């Protein structure tokens, strides 16, 4: 039996998340308090008492999901023995931290900078994302290529579920074409901008400078990175792929397939929600999937 721990990205947040861990575990309390100190605002208060709307702000969402995911990995203690780790988009920072490639404080600062830079890039160009269900990846890629304006495949989530990203007019045109091609659904998502597209270039440049100045260690196990869907242990390569991630697609389907080919049989989702467990099952029904729980 080989185990991969996988870490969720934006969208997994919910009001009250992490409150029980804060109240019942000194390790969790210490890390939540450290996060508040590093960020200069009370992230924990928004997580525990804030509304869904407050929690949805990118500058809050990304540090919140990252902090809780890392805390959950830390609370596993000696039981946290991954053969591989991976994270979906933002979750890659959680995976790298849990595997020892990044210090918690350093990673949190990067996540915060990433969130603010993405927010600024979103405000610079009216843009969005859409989920296309029921078409092959190749058909969706061809549709994106045929539409005028910026629109690209952004999240390869599982077979038959691909998220596209780009300018609003181009996304709308691509959704129409997807429906004509027989898509079950082509749904514009309630997001602030075109993540994992060329429109994130200003954010990528800003984050690149911060990543270059941050110290990375060799992780305790291979990390399967989004932009290449390959297992990496070299800190220099990890940095490069992490920088590329903002404008490159999240190759989640391919990452899961890569882990299965490497002999992974069990996937454990470490963080809020169950999204990744569902996606792994859609890639390969035979996999064992579970989540981390402290109840």
User: Which pLDDT does position 59 carry in this prediction?
Assistant: 87
H or E segment at 104?
A: helix 104-124
CB 219 within 8 A of CB 96: yes
Q: Which of 198, 192, 145, 201 is nearest to 173 (CA)?
A: 145
- Give the chain's largest Cα–Cα span: 55
Output the six-digit token pair for 89.
Answer: 């988009």
Q: What is this structure's pTM?
A: 0.96
Q: Which of 69, 89, 112, 165 is catalytic?
A: 89
pLDDT digits (tens, 9 = 90+) for 171-203: 999 999 999 999 999 999 888 789 999 999 999
Dump the DSSP string for 122-172: HHHS-EEEEEEESS-HHHHHHHHHHSSSSEEEEEEEETTEEEEEEEHHHHH
Is residue 112 annotated as a catalytic residue, yes or no? Answer: no
Q: What is the mean pLDDT of residues 257-261?
A: 98
**Hey, what's the torsion of the CAs at 41, 47, 52, 57, to 10 degrees?**
40
CB 13 within 8 A of CB 56: yes
Spacing of C-alpha 278 from chain mean position: 15
Long-range contacts of 287-291, Cβ-Cβ distance < 8 Å, separation of 24 or more = 287/260, 290/266
Q: Is 88 an annotated catalytic residue?
A: no
Give per-residue pLDDT as tens, 29-40: 999 999 999 999
**Which domains, and CATH codes, for the chain?**
3-123+198-291 (3.40.366.10), 126-188 (3.30.70.250)
Which of the residues 94, 127, 196, 197 is marked catalytic? 196
pLDDT(1) > 80: no
- How far apart CA 57 and CA 246 sit, in angstroms, is 18
pLDDT of 295 higher than 70: no
> Which has more confidence, 191 or 212?
212
């Amino acid at each position: 039996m080989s185990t991969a721990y996988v870490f969720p990205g934006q969208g997994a947040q919910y009001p009250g998340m992490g409150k029980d861990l804060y109240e019942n575990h000194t390790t969790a309390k210490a890390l939540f308090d450290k996060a508040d100190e590093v960020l200069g605002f009370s992230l924990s208060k928004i997580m525990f008492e804030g509304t869904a709307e407050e929690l949805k702000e990118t500058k809050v969402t990304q540090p919140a999901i990252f902090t809780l995911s890392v805390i959950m990995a830390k609370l596993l203690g000696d039981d946290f023995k991954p053969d591989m780790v991976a994270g979906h988009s933002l979750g890659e920072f959680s995976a790298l931290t849990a595997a020892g490639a990044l210090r918690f404080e350093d990673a949190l600062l990067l996540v915060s900078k990433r969130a603010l830079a993405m927010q600024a890039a979103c405000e610079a160009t009216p843009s969005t994302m859409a989920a296309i269900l029921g078409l092959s990846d190749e058909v969706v890629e061809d549709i994106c290529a045929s539409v005028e304006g910026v629109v690209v495949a952004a999240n390869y989530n599982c077979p038959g579920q691909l998220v596209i990203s780009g300018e609003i007019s181009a996304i709308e045109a691509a959704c129409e074409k997807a429906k004509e091609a027989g898509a079950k659904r082509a749904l514009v998502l309630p997001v602030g901008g075109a993540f994992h597209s060329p429109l994130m270039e200003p954010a990528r440049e800003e984050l690149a400078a911060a990543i270059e100045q941050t110290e990375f260690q060799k992780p305790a196990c291979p990390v399967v990175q989004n932009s290449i869907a390959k297992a990496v242990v070299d800190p220099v390569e990890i940095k490069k792929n992490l920088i590329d991630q903002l404008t490159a697609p999240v190759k989640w389907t391919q990452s899961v397939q890569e882990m299965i080919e490497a002999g992974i049989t069990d996937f454990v989702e470490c963080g809020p929600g169950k999204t990744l467990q569902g996606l792994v099952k859609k890639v390969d029904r035979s996999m064992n999937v579970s989540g981390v729980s402290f109840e």
